[in-house]
Structure formats: structure tokens, C-alpha cells
Chain A
Amino acid sequence: MNAANEMSISFSALSENEAFARVAVAAFVLPLNPTMEELTEVKTIVSEAVTNSIIHGYKEGNGIIYLQCKILGDRMELVIEDHGVGIEDVDVVRQPLYTSRPDLERSGMGFTIMESFVDELEVDSAISRGTRLRFVKYIRTPQSAAHYEV
């Protein structure tokens, strides 16, 4: 088994960086040869998590978002972290259609979408300290690079 391939980036919590973050991760996982559907799932996870950090974590104010991605075999591990306000009750925000900001026309589907597009999702949050999301996703397609490894 080869050592893990890793990357990390940090960027300002600005909405124009949502596209940058999802494209960066998509480009990084490309060697796993994901299907278009898997690639869309990866981009969507990143977009949801980064948007949450911007809107909820930093309340659209200044802040830095930290993103790490690791590939090990056919497994992708992704960590997206902010040092924002934190989540009071993680179980509540994970409920479908829940949103703390109906005024912003949020659909409340972010967590539901993230959960259905990954194999594992861990939420670690502390008030006034920030929120860290850790995702694990397997790129399992027959044509994926890992399939040909011994």
C-alpha cells in the first residue's frame, strides 16, 4: 500500500471561494478516476460545508476556512474546519429541512445532502471555538485507479 497523498489549503471565508474549494478538491481526487456522479458528489459536499462555514460559522464576516484532503487507496478523507461561532446542538442541525437562517432562504438540506453523498460524516463543534467536519468517501467505481492495485 502506498503512503497517503495529502493536500491542505486555507482560504478566506468569502462566497467567491466556494467554487475554488470544490474545484480544488475535485482536481485532487481526479487520479482516483471517479465517475461524473462521484465527482459531482465530492464537489457538492465541499460546497455545502464551505457555505456553512461562511454563513453560519463566520456569519458572513471575516474568517479563514481550513481544508485538508487525503487519498489512501480508494478512500478519500476530507476535513473542512472553521474557527467560527460553533454549533449549539449538532443533532438539531443534522435534521432535514432544519435551518437557523430561514431569512436567508436556506433550504435546510445541507447536512442531509452531505450525509447522503459520503460514507462517513463526523461533526465536531464547540461554541465560540468553531466547527470541524470530517468526511470519508470511497470511490468505488470499477474503473477507479485503486481497482487495479494489488
Chain B
Amino acid sequence: MRVQVERRHHGSILMASLTGELDHHAAEAVRTTLDRELQGRHNVRLILDLSGVTFMDSSGLGVILGRYKKIQDTGGEMVIAGVSRAIDRLFEMSGLHKIVRMYPNCEAAVVALKEVAK
């Protein structure tokens, strides 16, 4: 699993794109990489781009929910972009889609987060 982090909208929005299979094995690396980015920062606005995720199970749900809580606790906001049908089923089952805002793609998520910033 590859995690690529970039800054958008003059650096005020963090975008993390995951590529590959998000299972228990990959979850640890994803957690470490994202937590390093979040370290000591408040009001982070993060877009978690899942469009490159080819497989995900409940370990993925755990790591996503964990980052969401962490960001929420420090006054920030996390949204998700590019969810496949298979991943959406898991989100629905776990109730995650009622908690986290989702967008069809990153561009839509950037637009929505810019609005929040205004």
C-alpha cells in the first residue's frame, strides 16, 4: 500500500491518496504515515482519497475511523473522496457514511473544504 500526501489550496488542505490494498498488514503503515503528518497540528483539513484502494476490510475501517476521531478532537475536519462500491458497502454497514462526509472525487472534496474555510 502506498500513501502519498500532498498539500492543496495554498497548503491549507492536506490530501492523502492511498493506493493498493488496505488490510491489517497495510493499516499500520497508513496509520504511522498519516499520524506523522497530523503530529502537533490543529484544525487540519484532510481529504482521504480512496480512489486507488483496490481492496479494503474492517482493518481499513478501523484506521479511517481512528484518523477521523483524532482530527475531530483537534478541531479539524476529515472527508473522504473516491469511494468504490465495495468500500461503500463497508461504510454503510459500519455506519461510517453517516459520520464522515464523502465526495465522488478529490476536486469535489477540495471545493467543499474551501467553502468550510470561508
Contacts and interface: CB of A to CB of B under 8 A. Distances in A.
A107 B94 contact: yes
Contact of B58 (A15, A22, A37, A113): A113
Contacts of B62: 104-107
Contacts of B2: none
Interface string A8-22: 000000011011001
A113 B25 contact: no
B86 A113 contact: no
Given A107-B58, A109-B61, A113-B57, A47 B23 contact: yes
B80 to A, nearest CB: 15
Contact of B24 (A15, A40, A108): A15
A48 interface: yes
B104 interface: no
A44 interface: yes
Contacts of B28: 15
Contact of B55 (A40, A54, A105): A40
Nearest to A47: B57
Interface residues of B, number: 21
Contact of B31 (A54, A105, A106, A107): A105
Contact of B57 (A16, A51, A97): A51
B85 to A, nearest CB: 8
Interface residues of A, number: 25
Contacts of A15: 23-25, 28
Contacts of B55: 22, 40, 43-44, 47
Contact of A44 (B27, B57, B65, B66): B57
B90 A109 contact: yes
B117 interface: no
A147 B62 CA distance: 38
B24 A54 contact: yes
A27 to B, nearest CB: 14
Given A44-B57, A97-B94, A107-B58, 8 more contacts: A40-B55, A47-B57, A51-B59, A55-B24, A106-B59, A112-B94, A113-B58, A113-B90
Interface of A: 15-16, 18-19, 22, 37, 40, 43-44, 47-48, 51, 54-55, 97, 104-110, 112-113, 116
5 contacts: A15-B24, A97-B94, A105-B62, A106-B59, A110-B58
